[in-house]
Each structure stands twice: as C-alpha cells, then as structure tokens.
Amino acid sequence: MKYAKEICEPIRDTASLWKKCRDLVDFNAFYQRCISDVCSVSSLEVSSPACVILSVVARECALQGAVVDNWSEHYSVDGRCGK
C-alpha cells in the first residue's frame, strides 16, 4: 500500500501543473482508483495503472477546458509514463 501511495501521489500534487484543473475534476476519486488499480497488479506492471490514471486525469482536465500539456514529462512513474 505504501508503494501504491507513492506511485499515485502525482494525482494529489497541488503544484501548478494541475492547478488550473483542481476545481474542475475530482482528483480524490482518481487517486483512490489509482491506489486500487496499483494494488491489484503484479509488481512488474505497477507503473502502468498509475500512468493510465494520470493520462485520464489529463484528458478529463482537457474536457473541462483546462489543458495540461506534457504531464508525462513532469510526472514520470518509475520513468515509464510517456516514454
């Protein structure tokens, strides 16, 4: 569980990257989903659910009019998102 929290932490990050979207999308729901998904996969695939959830968050932000460009450059999970 501790590792899942570390992997999913970018979703809860209040840094400026997500700031313009913070009030438009339920980040807590995405964080909880990320924790659940990361805990349900084998250790070899652990970054994949977090990357998927982060891309969904970025897409939801865009749908709400708050485009978050290059999120994967800022939040690479184990160096695997967007690479």
With cut-offs at 50, 70 and 90, classify the pLDDT of residue 29: very high
With cut-offs at 50, 70 and 90, classify the pLDDT of residue 60: very high
Report the pLDDT value the prediction gives residue 43, as an integer from 0 to 100.
61
DSSP code of residue 22: T
Mean pLDDT of 65-78: 74
Report the pLDDT value the prediction gives residue 83, as an integer from 0 to 100.
46
Q: How far apart are CA 73 and CA 83, in angstroms?
A: 9
pLDDT tens per residue, range 37-59: 888 876 656 567 778 888 888 89
Q: Do you know the residue count of the chain?
A: 83
Closest C-alpha to 37, from 76, 3, 78:
3
